[in-house]
Amino acid sequence: MKSGQKSHPRPRAAAGFTLAELALAVGGRVVGDERLRLTGVRALSDAGPSDLSFLADERRLGEARASRAGALLVRSEAVLPGRPAVVVGSPMLALAVWLDRFAPKDRPRAGIAAGARVHRTARLGAGVSVAAGATVEAGVRVGARSMIGPGAYVGPEAEIGADCVLHANAVVQWRCRVGSRCVLHPGAVVGSDGFGYVWDGTRHRKVPQVGIVRLEDDVEVGANSTIDRATLGETLVGRGTKIDNLVQVGHNVVIGEDALVCGQAGIAGSTRIGNRVTLAGQAGIADHVTIGDGAIATAQSGIGTGSTVAAGAVVSGMPAAPHREFLRRAAWLARLPELARRLEEVERRLAEAGRGGSAWSSESPKS
């Protein structure tokens, strides 16, 4: 691979920023010259003398020492003595705050672009933009300043809150409801039919899925993720929950607030996920499961039909078990060939003892 270092795009600040400005914005304290002026924000390995970088994880201290960054966001000035820095409680949070201010905020011009189709009965709030190739159907409401991206589709009677972004080719099906400040990444589908069939003796007969999906405020749905509408009622994703790419959420599922659902995780029908739950990558949650607040299902874990995970629990493996238990089992599983050998040895000694030629014959009780 060719080095792409020179060509990394970077957030631009025409005139740059000083450490004093940075510290003020992120609530930090300057170490070194507060008039030091930087122009970019880059990762440790890419940063040069005019860039800000950050040390969020002290396991990367070596990289931080080697970095050519002009200044760093750090948790304590002691970790990098003598280097220009801004000391904050959480360098990652400070980074988020600063990038949010600093990052490009290009947004399309408000209005309906040529090549967009908006039904005459749709009601768009102030400052809404609808890109070319997008379709907004009859009876739709879109809140102020929301952006409907190119190729995106909003079905009949759907509602989109204020300040939402529907990226390219995102889909919201009929009657579904999206709160305010939600983001649907490219290709995300909200409101596809739930997977509901009933065998009628000769074929799988479809159970019409006439419920909806409701996303509360501040929800993100990752690229090409899919959230099925309820059979009746609603599939619900609570306020502040973030869903990564290629995630499947089945019909009638309820996810609480501030949950994190990582890439390729799947949640089958009618399962209830509590607040602040984390489902790690490729975790699979079967139907009619209940997961308590704050629980964690680790990567690739599998939680079986109808089971319950207690609040705060951490579960792993398939079938899922408490994480410590999983680790113990995994450790013993790795030693299973050894255990089998030891068992054979025990059997051999008993057999020898049984034949009178005891394995411990020299000190044998028969003497």
Active site residues: 251
| Least distance between a copy of itself and beta carbon 167 (Å) | 7
Q: Are 275 and 294 spatial neighbours (Cβ–Cβ below 8 Å)? A: yes
Structure-token pair, residue 100: 């949010």
- Per rule CB under 8 A, is residue 127 in the interface with a copy of itself? no
Distance CA 238, CA 260 (A): 11
| Least distance between a copy of itself and beta carbon 329 (Å) | 6
Instruction: Provide the 8-state DSSP code for 305.
Output: T
Nearer to a copy of itself, 110 or 359 (CB): 359
Please, which of residues 135-154 interact with a copy of itself by CB under 8 A?
A: 135, 149-151, 153
Q: Is the dihedral of CA 281, 286, 288, 291 positive or negative?
A: negative
Nearest to 314 by CA among 331, 336, 292, 333: 292
The distance of Cα 19 from the centroid of its chain, to the nearest Å, equals 32
Distance CA 260, CA 94 (A): 21
281-to-79, 176, 219, 284 alpha-carbon distances in Å: 33, 26, 18, 9
- Per rule CB under 8 A, is residue 292 in the interface with a copy of itself? no
Tell me the window of 17-25, 31-39, 73-81, 295-303 that interacts with a copy of itself (CB under 8 A).
295-303
Nearer to a copy of itself, 84 or 187 (CB): 187
Instruction: Provide the 8-state DSSP code for 154.
Output: E
- Per rule CB under 8 A, is residue 322 in the interface with a copy of itself? no
Tell me the window of 27-35, 74-82, 93-101, 120-128 that interacts with a copy of itself (CB under 8 A).
93-101
- Per rule CB under 8 A, is residue 324 in the interface with a copy of itself? no
Structure-token pair, residue 88: 């904050």
Tell me the window of 15-23, 68-76, 162-170, 289-297 that interacts with a copy of itself (CB under 8 A).
162-170
Per-residue x/- track, 63-92, a copy of itself (CB under 8 A): ---------------------------x-x
